[in-house]
Amino acid sequence: MSKKIGDVILDVKNISLSFGGVKALTDISFNVREHEIRSIIGPNGAGKSSMLNCINGVYTPQQGSITFRGQTFGHMDSHQVATMGIGRTFQNLALFKGMSVLDNIMSGRNLKIKSNILLQALRWGPAEREEIMHREAVERIIDFLEIQAYRKTPVGQLPYGLQKRVDLGRALAMEPQVLLLDEPMAGMNVEEKQDMCRFVLDVNDEFGTTVVLIEHDMGVVMDISDRVVVLDYGKKIGDGTPDEVINNEDVIRAYLGTSH
Amino acid sequence: MQTTFPRLLQMHASERPHAPAMREKEYGIWQSLSWSDLSAMVQQLAAGLHQAGLRRGEHMVVVGANRPRLYATMLAVQSLGAIPVPLYQDAAAAECVFPINNAEVRFAFAEDQEQVDKLLEIREQCPQLERIYYDDPRGLRKYDEPCLASLDELQAGGKVFVELHPDFFASEVEKAKPGDVGAMFFTSGTTGNPKGVVHTHNSLLNRARVGADFDKLTGSEEVLAYLPPAWIGQNIFSYAQWLACGYVVNCPESAATVTIDMKEIGPTYYFAPPRIFEGLLTSVMIRMEDAGAIKRGMFHYFMDVAKRVGPALMDGKDVGLGDRLLYALGNLCVYGPLRNTLGMSRVRVAYTAGEAIGPDLFSFFRSIGINLKQLYGSTETAVFVCLQPDHEARADTVGVPCEGVEIKVADNGEILVKSPGLLKEYYKNPAATAEVLTEGGWYHTSDAGFIDSNGHLKIIDRVKDVGRIKGGANDGAMFAPKYVENKLKFFSHIKEVVAYGDGRDKVCVFINIDFDAVGNWAERRNLPYAGYTDLAQKPEVYQLIKECVEKVNADLSVDALLAGSQVSRFLVLHKELDADDGELTRTNKVRRGFIAERYNVLVDALYEGKSSQFIETQVKFEDGRTGKVSATLKIEDAKTFAPVKAAA
């Protein structure tokens, strides 16, 4: 059961982010190693999603830097982040509801498609070959996520748990090196959570994808993570293996409160 | 001519090497496997298994869903003179221990991670289990158990061996005789340990051939294999008859895509137990209820026409020109599209077996132009005992004895069968064998029934279940629980029924509602409910079920034999009966005795005349964890009718 965890792939240094007077993140530093599952946990409003948004360029932190594969950035550009191989899913699903599962996942291949729009519209020559190649990649993802039965179903008609899976599928379609998952198990029942855990582990295992996971369910986090960062009110209060974190007094205080 | 499974494979591979043998949908495309590809695969697997140490006469377990490589492995095992033992893929780990130890299994084929996990879980209890080969490597990368190996590795090793010993396979196949043991199936068994039913190559292939000849099956049939391969029905249809006829077996993409796959393939030969047909009809009805007024009106109008005209047309009877035209119009507007939606546009012959089928259900499919028929058989008889000829299909009989079969009704009403397809024995269980196979080669089916005036066999119930009412108004009347249960189950709102009455003064039943059908019914009436348990106890649902029970009572009151089996009291159970809780067999038959023990407070409450009863039950979830459900169940009385002697 040993998996090869490599060198640091993503290094976040002294990130601070504020919206006007509200300090969302204060001096946060942590790193992510290749092939690991790294979780970010914390109570509501701790700044977990803000952290992900800094990494993939939705927010621009006022201070600090992010190093990805040796390149250091003061702020990340969303498009560039995607090209570099960082994919993500969203807490509040951002799928195309009227489009089929197949087309939604296909849209994740957008950056990989080389032929121009005219050739694609005519579906001529190289464009057709390319489409077949991408369709195959998408089909492998559909098979992987076991959603063959919903290939042609409009995403809006699917139950929430399946929509989450499609969201993951779209992120996988860009063949990311690092996958940012924002609460992939929120709002799911036990069975759906188990399925999702299995998919996250399988992605990490089969494709060697590095996973950065935000999650509320402590059982899930402690079960599948290699290392955990704990945030509270925008500050880092813990960092280490699940065992270390669970015994950290600051963490216990943040989650369970203290007597005054 | 008697033959063996591997010889049939060789024959197809040499006579029509490029014809498709199997198809499997993968990555959205139907991938074909030709007979020559299949033959090469089987040779390599056989060589690999030989190298691994599988010997003639040994057993090898195969467990998984319908996949080309599962069937190829079965063929490879048979080629070496060993015996494949298919197990149910949805069986719990503990249920696999007995068969594996009973058959001293050293080698196993597991489809995927789920099956591998199951076998690894019981390895300590099955010390002789040496090697597990898996088909789908997904999720298994991190497993480092030395007993695990992929089928790919096995096949690659075998390929080298085949190149060095090109004659090995043919000489091994030559050694196997038609009278040798070909396969073993474990019967789920309603009591005690399962029994291994031993069949020879000939007993399976003889019946497969007879069934194929009866319906003139050819090599161009298309079959969709989606039921467990461990069930003899599926095994005959997608394995024995597949090799006997050389048609194409199609494996669906996953269990969830069966309806889509069926529509794409358009099978010509179809086989399913009644509950599948029931599920299809329920889904059609639910969708029609939700359809627009015009469509709904058209559907109901033409279904009335179909009900009147369809079965007569199907039976080849004379039908007036007006009705013929009306039916043709209905075919254009409703029946044709409906058959297409069900994936049954090309079905030439469809069979249902395993349980009794409701008359309404049966005639629904026949009325829309699907040649649905019944057959009678069991694991022990290699399926085919009785078959309904094309124009003589009826809901309440199971057909005429097919070629080679002799039928006799014993004094106690039990049906005895003599056929070339009978089991050789129960494995390592001479006592059980002696019980069912008696002098002169008669097999005791333990079904009670009789041959009607048209020469068709009619089944009433299991012999041991047929009982007598004791005391009360109907003292001494005959009680056939299954018969009562089936009559109730024919209503779409009722999923499962357990009837009690033997040795008691009246008949009382437990009822399981059909969650989909009743849920939809409740929604249309704006009846809110929180879940299964809540819905089951709604007074409106009780009223609905009560109407069903009383209709059955009215029906039974004119039955000369079973008027005393009318249902006096009933209750609706708070949870679905489930095989995981041991309440149903793996083939979904109710285990009446077990249920009576488990819910004995409810049985007592029924007979003591209480109007409600609290019960707490432990339930087992699919992942093996357990939980508790509790509820206070209402008990209702149903109206019974004075027996009416049917006018002579």
Residues A166 and A180 in one domain: no
Q: Do A149 and B28 touch (CB under 8 A)?
A: no
Nearest to residue B25, comparing CAs of B68, B62, B63, B64?
Answer: B68
Size of interface A-B (CB pairs under 8 A): 41
CA angle centred on B417, ends B412 and B423, rounded to 5°: 125
Partnered with residue A93 across adjacent β-strands are none
Interval B297-345: pLDDT, tens: 999 999 999 999 988 888 888 889 999 999 999 999 999 999 999 999 9
Residue A146 touches chain B, beta carbons under 8 Å: yes
B256–chain A nearest CA distance, Å: 6
Nearest to residue B432, comparing CAs of B440, B530, B424?
Answer: B424
Mean pLDDT for the stretch of residues A176-181: 94
Contacts of A139 in chain B (CB under 8 A): 27-29
The 3-state DSSP class for residue B182 equals: strand
Residues A50 and A165 in one domain: no
| Average confidence score pLDDT of chain B | 91
Contacts of B29 in chain A (CB under 8 A): 139
In this prediction, residue B645 has a pLDDT band, given cuts at 50, 70 and 90, of low
In this prediction, residue A3 has a pLDDT band, given cuts at 50, 70 and 90, of low
Q: Residue B388's Cα: distance from chain center in Å?
A: 18
Residues A207 and A107 in one domain: no
- What pLDDT is attached to residue B279? 85
In a domain? residue A242: yes
How much of chain A, in percent, has pLDDT values that exceed 70? 97
In a domain? residue A90: no
In a domain? residue A94: no
C-alpha to C-alpha distance for B602 and B44, rounded to whole angstroms: 57
Burial class (CB in 10 A: 0-12, 13-18, 19+), B625: exposed
**pLDDT > 80? residue B278:** yes
Contacts of B252 in chain A (CB under 8 A): none
In this prediction, residue B383 has a pLDDT band, given cuts at 50, 70 and 90, of very high
* Count: domains in chain A: 2
Interval A57-81: pLDDT, tens: 889 999 999 999 888 888 888 888 8
Mutant choice from A148, A192, A193, A199 vs B, greatest count of B C-beta within 10 A: A148
Q: Do A148 and B256 touch (CB under 8 A)?
A: yes
| Host domain of residue A206 | 1-85+176-260
Residues A182 and A63 in one domain: yes
**pLDDT > 70? residue B174:** yes
How much of chain B, in percent, has pLDDT values that exceed 70? 98
C-alpha to C-alpha distance for B165 and B170, rounded to whole angstroms: 10
Residues with Cβ within 8 Å of residue A82, at least 6 apart in sequence: A56, A111, A174
What one-letter code names the amino acid at A223?
Answer: D
**Cross-chain CB nearest to B142 (options A146, A149, A205):** A205
Q: Do B260 and A149 touch (CB under 8 A)?
A: yes
Burial class (CB in 10 A: 0-12, 13-18, 19+), B57: exposed
Domain termination residue (choose one: A147, A173, A199): A173
- Going from the N-terminus, what domains does chain B have, and what CATH number goes with each? 5-200 (3.40.50.980), 466-637 (3.30.300.30)
Among chain A residues, the shortest Cα distance to B28 is held by A139
- What pLDDT is attached to residue B457? 92
In this prediction, residue B465 has a pLDDT band, given cuts at 50, 70 and 90, of confident
Residues A180 and A169 in one domain: no
Residues A122 and A60 in one domain: no
How big is chain A by its Cα radius of gyration, in Å?
19
- What pLDDT is attached to residue A149? 93
In a domain? residue A95: no
The 3-state DSSP class for residue B160 equals: helix
In a domain? residue A92: no
C-alpha to C-alpha distance for B185 and B590, rounded to whole angstroms: 20
- What pLDDT is attached to residue B647? 43
Going B606 to B607 to B609 to B615, the CA torsion angle's sign is negative
Among chain B residues, the shortest Cα distance to A136 is held by B27
Contacts of A165 in chain B (CB under 8 A): none
Residues A80 and A27 in one domain: yes
Query: What value of ipTM does the predicted structure carry?
Result: 0.80
Strand A178-182 and strand A86-88: the pairing is parallel
User: Hunting for tokens 């490599």 — which residue is that?
Assistant: A6
Residues A169 and A180 in one domain: no
Roughly what angle, to the nearest 10 degrees, separates helices B35-52 and B5-15? 140
Among chain A residues, the shortest Cα distance to B26 is held by A143
Domain termination residue (choose one: A173, A195, A216): A173
In a domain? residue A18: yes
Among chain A residues, the shortest Cα distance to B136 is held by A144
* B261 neighbors B252 (Cβ within 8 angstroms): yes
**Cross-chain CB nearest to B27 (options A140, A149, A194):** A140
Q: Do A139 and B142 touch (CB under 8 A)?
A: no
Residues A165 and A183 in one domain: no
Quickly list H helices, chain A: 48-55, 78-84, 101-107, 117-122, 126-144, 160-173, 190-206, 218-224, 242-246, 249-256
Q: What are phi and psi of A201, to 5 degrees?
A: -65, -40
Interval A134-154: pLDDT, tens: 999 999 999 999 999 999 999
Nearest to residue B81, comparing CAs of B177, B205, B163?
Answer: B177
B73–chain A nearest CA distance, Å: 23
In a domain? residue A93: no
How much of chain A, in percent, has pLDDT values that exceed 90? 52
**Cross-chain CB nearest to B254 (options A146, A198, A201):** A146
How much of chain B, in percent, has pLDDT values that exceed 90? 68
Contacts of A135 in chain B (CB under 8 A): 28
**Cα–Cα distances in angstroms (integers) from residue B454 to residues B315, B375, B398, B458, B483, in the given order:** 15, 16, 12, 11, 21
Residues A169 and A185 in one domain: no
Interval B608-619: pLDDT, tens: 988 999 988 888
- What pLDDT is attached to residue B461? 86
- What pLDDT is attached to residue B189? 62
- What pLDDT is attached to residue A259? 59
Least confident piece of the model among A146-160, B226-240, B256-270, B476-490: B476-490
| Average confidence score pLDDT of chain A | 89
**Cross-chain CB nearest to A143 (options B27, B144, B623):** B27
CATH of the domain at A43: 3.40.50.300
Residues A5 and A81 in one domain: yes
Contacts of A148 in chain B (CB under 8 A): 25, 28, 253-254, 256-257
Both tokens of residue B166? 């090109």
Residue A1 touches chain B, beta carbons under 8 Å: yes
3-class DSSP string for B62-82: EECCCCHHHHHHHHHHHHCCC
Contacts of B138 in chain A (CB under 8 A): 144, 202, 206
Interval B506-529: pLDDT, tens: 999 999 999 988 998 999 899 999
Contacts of B257 in chain A (CB under 8 A): 148-149
* B323 neighbors B308 (Cβ within 8 angstroms): yes
- What pLDDT is attached to residue B542? 95
Strand B20-26 and strand B248-251: the pairing is parallel
**Cross-chain CB nearest to A206 (options B29, B141, B256):** B141
Contacts of B260 in chain A (CB under 8 A): 149
Q: Do B28 and A148 touch (CB under 8 A)?
A: yes
- What pLDDT is attached to residue B529? 92
**pLDDT > 50? residue B648:** no
Interval B397-445: pLDDT, tens: 899 999 999 999 998 889 999 999 999 999 999 999 999 999 889 999 9
Strand B248-251 and strand B222-224: the pairing is parallel
Mean pLDDT for the stretch of residues A13-38: 92
Mean pLDDT for the stretch of residues A31-57: 90
Going B555 to B561 to B564 to B569, the CA torsion angle's sign is negative
Q: What are phi and psi of B84, to 5 degrees?
A: -75, 140
**pLDDT > 50? residue A2:** no
Interval B12-47: pLDDT, tens: 999 999 999 999 999 999 999 999 999 999 999 999
- What pLDDT is attached to residue B190? 57
**Cα–Cα distances in angstroms (integers) from residue B515 to residues B257, B522, B595, in the given order:** 21, 10, 20
**pLDDT > 50? residue B286:** yes
Residues A200 and A218 in one domain: yes
**pLDDT > 60? residue B176:** yes
Residue A140 touches chain B, beta carbons under 8 Å: yes
Residue A123 touches chain B, beta carbons under 8 Å: no
Domain termination residue (choose one: A173, A191, A221): A173
Q: Do B139 and A194 touch (CB under 8 A)?
A: no
